[in-house]
Structure 1
Amino acid sequence: MTGGHWIVNLPVRSGSSDNSSTGGYRPPLDNLGTQKTLGFLGSGLGFDTCKYALKLINQIRSNSVFNYNEPVLNKIDLPGAEPDRVIKEIEEIVGLDCSNAILCSAKEGIGIIDILNAIVARIPSPEDTSKRPLRALIFDSYYDPYRGVIVYFRVVDGTIKKGDRVYFMASGKDYFADEIGVLSPSQLQVEELYAGEVGYLSASIRTVADARVGDTITHYGRKAINSLPGYEEATPMVFCGLFPVDADQFSELRDALEKLQLNDAALKFEPETSSAMGFGFRCGFLGLLHMEIVQERLEREYNLSLITTAPSVVYRVNCVNGDTVECSNPSLLPEPGKRKSIEEPFVKIEMLTPKDYIGSLMELAQERRGQFKEMKFIAENRASITYELPLAEMVGDFFDQLKSRSKGYASMEYTFVGYKESNLIKLDIRINGDSVEPLATIVHNDKAYSVGRALTLKLKELIPRQMFKVPIQACIGSKVIASEAISAIRKDVLAKCYGGDISRKKKLLKKQAEGKKRMKSIGKVDVPQEAFMAVLKLEKEVI
């Protein structure tokens, strides 16, 4: 983190490099930088594209254990570098033979030639499959306002030439290859690409959705029988509402989302109307980090001021009539009498931590309804803890809590495992008898009271006093589980009564009570925007 902003290492573009400088003839190297970033569920970009990979290791983290092949120890030029200790940790934790580990410093240029020589010596050349039908795997794409979508791909079988009519097997679209080439690092046109090579394609493609990551490119006239394995259409896992603070910016927000979607086919959005926050959009994201990046880009690149509702996940509702409904918005949840059960997405999480923080991290996972699966010591001072827990419990501050409780030493990796039935309910908030849909949420039955209590207390602090008493209730259906009340602003009607009969005072108080009751029946409580923003922030913390 620098200057108050997070620096995120996202998947980088591919490139072809001339390797002849290492002495004698060397084949050109196609490289692809990848980062399996926490917060992008199902977005292992590049892992299916590359047959071999170098794992750059600065320190042992959870993804160092999950993804490894050939270790390269980076940043050995730093004053605090301890390559011998790290090599020992890799052998103990990962179980990888590090006798041939390469020490390098990209900053100082140390060991780079050794890495290039090792790649040529240890990795076999691609198999010659030029006679087979074309099969090329798309691993990235971006939208160019002048040329349309530029597709990055790796040729697995066959060859592709400029002018070929190509077919995208998943989307069913076909185009003529106006331009093909390699990146060295800028785009360099070539006439033909062969098996094993990485390149780019320009074909006047209008939308990124026509060239999805993981799709297979083949020739239109000589189609491959089977597409390449590994294609999964991007499915949003986390949802939230985005509303402009200024209602006049609604059209600007829509235009900004459409522009972002040109480069990000995983971003989904649809219009949403809220009685409290006006017009906005319900947006779907791959994960938390994806959501934060999109929000940050909207605010920074398009100068939009946004209200973001608490993130939620997609629930599956099994109805009494046999239908299954997917629901990402609490307001769309079927009535209790119509639903049989509710399923929520679960993830498998593996936490890598020093042994001193095992207890606090297990406590954190159990607080979030985690189901313990396994714990093992992978080194004398380091343990791996595995839990299964609901994705909804992670979309709040789980990662922040993990770092806080471990003083920054723990790391984590999680994968989607499927849907499981849970005892979930819809928690409604009523103000003066009226349900406020933007504040409704889906919570586990065991947490309903604590969440409802926290929300009603917060609203009591933030809603201004009225001329009548305002009840604030957290309800499950018609049952009130938590309640607070904002006392009325009262005029002292007895101030003019200095004495006299008590019946006169009772008459004045009765008249005042009747007026308050009449005002309450016809009165409307306006919840200020600041209250909504504060409660939405609270929901992110307590749910």
Structure 2
Amino acid sequence: MMEHIRNFCIIAHVDHGKSTLADRLLQLTGTISERDMMNQVLDSMDLEREKGVTIKASAVRMVYTAQDGLDYELNLIDTPGHVDFNYEVSRALAACEGALLIVDATQGIEAQTLANLYLALESDLVIVPVINKIDLPSARPDEVAQELENLMGYPAEEIVRISAKEGINVAQVLELVVNKVPPPKGNASEPLRALIFDSHYDSYKGVIAYVRVNEGEIRSGDSVKLMVTGAVVKPVEIGVFSPGMRPVDALRAGDVGYVATGLKTVAECRVGDTFTNPQRPAAAALPGYRKAKPMVFAGIYPTEGEDYPDLRDALDKLQLNDASLVFEPETSQALNFGFRCGFLGLFHMEIIQERLEREYDLDIVVTAPSVEYEVIMTDGEVLRVDSPAQLPDESLISEIREPWMALQIFSPTDYFGTIMDLISKRRGVFVSQEHPAPNRVQLNFEIPLSELIVDFFDALKSRSRGYASMDYQFLEYRPGNLVKLEVLVGGEAVDALAAIVHKENAYHKGQALVSKLKELIPRQLFDVAIQASSGGRIISRANVKAVRKDVLAKCYGGDITRKKKLLEKQKRGKRRMKMVGSVEIPQDAFMAVLRLEEE
């Protein structure tokens, strides 16, 4: 019975209690026995538990007997809260009719609360606000309820106040879901259309697609077709999450479940695609599909050269579960063989890096993150460049465009000045400001992505004592006054130390780099020049002095010409050595460049 199905998700800022509330709901409905209960049931990765963030969306079916005595089937989709996984959140919202908006009673509304709220409103969802963490001594539920009323027009006295950790008032949340969230619409007799809102890889069943059936039905044994990629598959099994995978005979319109496709890579079964029946296909795919686009690029190299095949295997396995990770082999003079990897954002990069080190036990070096630039050549050709080493000769370039982001910062009004100062130092442009609540300001900026990716978030948190929060979306590519900053060691350009920087910053960056490298490169038997060059000219130089033997030690008197003759002979030897000698650059020199980016 469709009237007794409710599909809803939980949206919130990072660390406002989504996963804890999901745990309580599972306990209350008896979906999980007390014996199997643990914290953050739906977060299956160790990293998710440690960092306290949901990285992968997950779904679960609960059966709840409401106060009216009827049994309701509740499908809960737990969404990631971090801005890097924004696209996954938007697909999860498209699979629901309602959303629980969780707001922390101590923190109030934050940037991603607003971003996810606007996403939910765009998807025409019924939004049910809930105030969480009322058991904490610093909680201010009345103020937060007022903020929510001002923002959404939802009466403050009707907003449920709960403590997911202590289990206070959680039963009221289930009643609200039954009463406020509408049942799904959709006709089981129409041609099949099912939205894939997430997927993961299973070594026995291939890619498992998490689906919401909008129209029609999938029966076990039926073939299904992916409307964007055109692939036709015969599912290994179909079923529902409760919370483990439980096979069923059919998924009908309104149901949330999974389809084990047997496909070998997640890329063949992308999030946002639509399943239909190949014999009776639907007229059009469900709207909103787009390919996840990497925004941040970095080189990943094994510390030991012989680990290269292991690193390739590890990245292949990670890509099976995460279609948004892209990589291709690249070589560097300094770091030898490795991979150029593309990530959704800096947090995504950090997660991949930790998983490679932990799950695959690899020692890796990650180069400084960079973004993808559009290079317009003089002949009109457009190149996409994500590594400074790929930048063509300056004489062939007409202009370089860099990605700009629309940035929203949500902060108490006290930190207005320091935030404005930070933005102006990072080449940001102020657009507008709003006051969604007393003593709170939402600032809207436009800022180059390259200024955001290194340590912007840390700087924002330290300037606002942890109170400010941020959210960003891709805006457009804009031409910028950008140049390539190269580092030459002993006259040889070192590709792994190159960077694309704004012309105004090139001189300072070059100077800082050269000074840092002078400390780190060991003295050789000959003088080594370290130079920073930009725009075809040297902008900074330092010399690492040669290690010299005291050739005058045996001259304890005699004519000055004898000493000069010995020194000249030494100088000639050093010059000859310089022509054949090569400089070994230590590993920590590359790490220093990364730290320099952060300073």
Distance 1:434 1:78 in 2: 60
Query: Hey, what does 2:52 align to over in structure 1?
Result: 7
CA drift at 1:61:
0.9
Shift of 1:496: 3.2
Moved more, 104-113 or 193-202: 104-113
Amino acid at match of 2:115: F
SS of residue matched to 2:476: strand
Equivalences for residues 288-307 of structure 1 within 5 A: 288-307=346-365
Matches of residues 348-497 of structure 1 in structure 2 within 5 Å? 348-497=406-555
CA distance in 2, matches of 1:117, 1:168: 37
Pairing partner for 1:64 from 94, 105, 113:
113
RMSD: 2.0
* Separation (CA, whole Å) in 2 of partners of 1:440 and 1:295: 22
By how many angstroms is 1:23 displaced?
A: 4.1
Residue identity over aligned pairs, in percent, reads 48
Q: 1:33 aligns with which of 72, 78, 81?
A: 78
Amino acid at match of 1:25: L
Which of the numbers 89, 97, 100 marks the counterpart of 1:54? 100
Alignment of 1:76-475 (within 5 A): 76-92=134-150, 96-475=154-533
- The answer (yes or no) to whether the contact 1:166–1:175 under 8 Å persists in 2 is yes
| Greater percentage in helix | 2
Give the distance between the partners of 2:251 and 2:377, measured in 1 at CA: 53
SS of match in other structure, 1:87: helix
Displacement, 1:448?
0.5
TM-score (norm 2): 0.87
Read off the aligned partner of 1:14 and give its amino acid letter. Answer: A
Aligned-pair CA distance for 1:263: 0.6
Contact map agreement 1:40 1:289 (CA 8 A) in 2: no
Deviation track 1:54-109 (CA, whole Å, cap 9, x = no partner) reads 11111321122233332111222333332112112323455544332112222333
Quick one: distance in 1 between partners of 2:575 and 2:257?
Answer: 74
Report the CA distance between 1:322 and its aligned residue: 1.3
Are the aligned partners of 1:19 and 1:27 in contact in 2 as well (CA < 8 Å)?
yes
Rounded Cα–Cα distance in structure 2 between residues aligned with 1:41 and 1:32: 15
| Residues 210-257 of structure 1: per-residue CA shift (max 9 Å, x gap) | 211000010011111111111111111111111111212111111111
Asked if the contact 1:166/1:218 (under 8 Å) is kept, the reply is: yes
- Between the aligned partners of 1:138 and 1:17, the Cα distance in structure 2 is 20
Following superposition, the deviation at residue 293 of structure 1 comes to: 0.4
SS in 2 for 1:421: strand
1:497 CA drift (Å): 3.2
1:517 Cα offset (Å): 1.9
Between the aligned partners of 1:509 and 1:491, the Cα distance in structure 2 is: 10
What do residues 257-292 of structure 1 show as CA deviations (whole Å, max 9, x unaligned)?
111111111111111112211211111111111111
Compared with structure 1, are the counterparts of its residues 298 and 424 closer, same or farther at alpha carbon in structure 2 (3 Å cutoff)? Answer: same
Q: Give the equivalent residue in structure 1 for 2:36.
A: none
Alpha-carbon deviation of 1:122?
Answer: 1.9
Q: 2:167 & 2:68 partners in 1: Cα distance?
A: 17
Stretch deviating more after TM superposition (90-99 or 211-220)? 90-99
Q: Aligned partners of 2:581, 2:148: CA distance in 1, in Å?
A: 68
Partner secondary structure for residue 28 of structure 1: strand
Q: Cα gap change, 1:128/1:254 in structure 2, threshold over 3 Å: closer, same or farther?
A: closer
Structure 2 Cα separation of the partners of residues 99 and 151 of structure 1: 40
**AA partner of residue 79 (structure 1):** P
Superposition deviation, residue 326 in structure 1: 0.5
Moved more, 529-538 or 360-369: 529-538
**Could you tell me whether the CA contact under 8 Å between 1:452 and 1:482 is conserved in 2?**
yes
**CA-to-aligned-CA distance 1:85-139 (integer Å, 9 cap, x gap):** 2112323455544332112222333323322222222222222412221111001
Compared with structure 1, are the counterparts of its residues 317 and 306 closer, same or farther at alpha carbon in structure 2 (3 Å cutoff)?
same
Shift of 1:477: 4.2
Do the aligned residues in 2 keep the contact of 1:26 with 1:120 (CA within 8 Å)?
no
Separation in 1, partners of 2:261, 2:408: 43
**Pair 41,336 (structure 1): closer, same or farther in 2 beyond 3 Å:** farther
8 A contact 2:98–2:182 mirrored in 1: no
Look up the match of 2:63: 18
The answer as to whether partners of 1:65 and 1:94 remain within 8 angstroms in 2 is no
SS at match of 1:46: helix
- Matching residue's letter, 1:52: G
Tell whether the 8 Å contact from 1:41 to 1:286 is kept in structure 2 after alignment.
Answer: no
Structure 2 CA distance, aligned partners of 1:155 and 1:43? 17
**Take 2:350 and 2:313, find their aligned partners in 1: how far apart are those partners?**
19
CA distance in 2, matches of 1:355, 1:536: 33
- Report the count of equivalent residues: 541
Q: Secondary structure at the match of 1:365?
A: helix
How far apart, in 2, do the equivalents of 1:110 and 1:500 lie?
97
Inter-partner Cα distance in structure 1 for 2:410 and 2:492:
47
Unmatched 5+ stretches in structure 2: 1-14, 16-45, 118-126
Letter in 2 for 1:376: E
**Which stretch of the first structure deviates more once superposed, 192-201 or 402-411?**
192-201
**Higher mean Cα deviation, 436-445 or 498-507?**
498-507
Residue by residue, what CA displacement relative to the aligned partner does 1:272-319 show, whole Å, maximum 9, x if unpaired? 112211211111111111111011001011111110000111111111
Secondary structure, aligned partner of 1:18: strand
Q: Secondary structure at the match of 2:376?
A: strand
How far apart, CA to CA, are the structure 2 residues paired with 1:330 and 1:235? 20
Q: Structure 1 residue 525: deviation in Å? A: 1.1
Judge which range, 51-60 or 252-261, deviates more: 51-60
How many Å apart are 1:140 and its aligned residue? 0.9
What are the equivalent positions in structure 2 for 1:504-523 lying under 5 Å apart? 504-523=562-581
Contact 1:439–1:536 (8 Å) recurs in 2: no
- Native 8 Å contact 1:351 1:385 kept in 2: yes
Moved more, 166-175 or 488-497: 488-497
In the aligned structure 1, how far is the partner of 2:169 from the partner of 2:480? 53
Q: Is the 8 A contact 1:182 1:198 kept in 2?
A: yes
In the alignment, is the contact (CA less than 8 A) between 1:71 and 1:98 conserved in 2?
Answer: no
> What's the secondary structure of 1:346's corresponding residue?
strand
Give the aligned residue type for 1:251: P
TM-superposition CA deviations, 1:367-420 (whole Å, max 9, x none): 111011112333332211111111111110000111111111110111111111
CA distance in 1 between counterparts of 2:116 and 2:526 reads 62
Partners of 1:30 and 1:316 in 2: CA distance: 43
Tell me, in whole angstroms, the C-alpha distance in 2 between the residues paired with 1:42 and 1:480. 44
- TM-score, normalised by the number of residues in structure 1: 0.95
The CA distance in 2 between the partners of 1:288 and 1:386, in whole Å, is 21
